[in-house]
Structure 1
Amino acid sequence: MESVRAAVYLSVCLSVLTSLCQGQRSADNQLDDPTLGLTTKELAEALQGFLDEADSSVGLSVEKKASVIPRCDLGERCAMKHGPRIGRLCDCLRGTSCNTFFLRCY
């Protein structure tokens, strides 16, 4: 019985301590405090400028590198013949495959 009472007292003390520490931490963290001489607004503007610059330089190269092949419906053309080679235009849906003779999904 005494061990249960001690555990309850200990849990109450720990909860009071954690709530006091949380209040201290929230008072320490101010949004407008200067960090390295910059305010939060200036840091946000610098980050936005960096992201805009990165978006303009990347362009469409990310979409090309993804190598995502679009899906074809049943009966739709899925490949194209280039001499002895066959190039894929799209990927057939589940349960169908690209027929190499007709070059369509069946």
Structure 2
Amino acid sequence: MERVRTAVYLSVCLSLLTSPSQGQRSADSRLPPDQPGVGLATNQLAAALQGFLDEADSSVALSVEKKASVIPRCDVGERCAMKHGPRIGRLCDCLRGTACNTFFLRCY
């Protein structure tokens, strides 16, 4: 999450820095497109920022997939819990209108 926040701050700063400078330049002071200059640096920064955002998106997707609080659904008659000594561990959530029977450990 911290990487995404940093990427957003970086992109906002870059957009703020490039917007006023483009408005202040006159048509005579601009560099022709065939000469290397400011355009090349901006393209490199944009490519670096895009790579950083792609990496941040992939790490965010992995953290969402690893979320342990999401319990899958199970059908009627399927095993919904498991007994561990005196405790009962849940394997899945029963569908609406059914409940997990604590004796048989199945959805009924």
Query: Into which bin does the TM-score normalised by the smaller protein fall?
Result: 0.5 to 0.7
Q: Deviations over 1:14-71 (max 9, x none)?
A: xxxxxxxxxxxxxxxxxxxx927525x852x233311233255557433233611100
Please show how residues 53-92 of structure 1 align to structure 2 within 5 Å: 53-55=55-57, 57=59, 60-65=62-67, 67-92=69-94
Alignment gaps of 5+ in structure 2: 1-16, 22-37
Q: Return the alpha-carbon distance in structure 2 between the equivalents of residues 104 and 47 of structure 1.
A: 51
What is the SS of the residue equivalent to 1:54? helix
Alignment gaps of 5+ in structure 1: 1-33
Q: Give the drift of 1:76.
A: 0.6
> Aligned residue pairs: how many?
71
Structure with higher Rg: it is 1
- CA RMSD, aligned part only? 2.8
What is the SS of the residue equivalent to 1:65? coil
Identity of aligned residues (%): 83
TM-score (normalizing by structure 2): 0.52
TM-score (normalizing by structure 1): 0.53
Tell me which amino acid in the other structure corresponds to 2:94: C
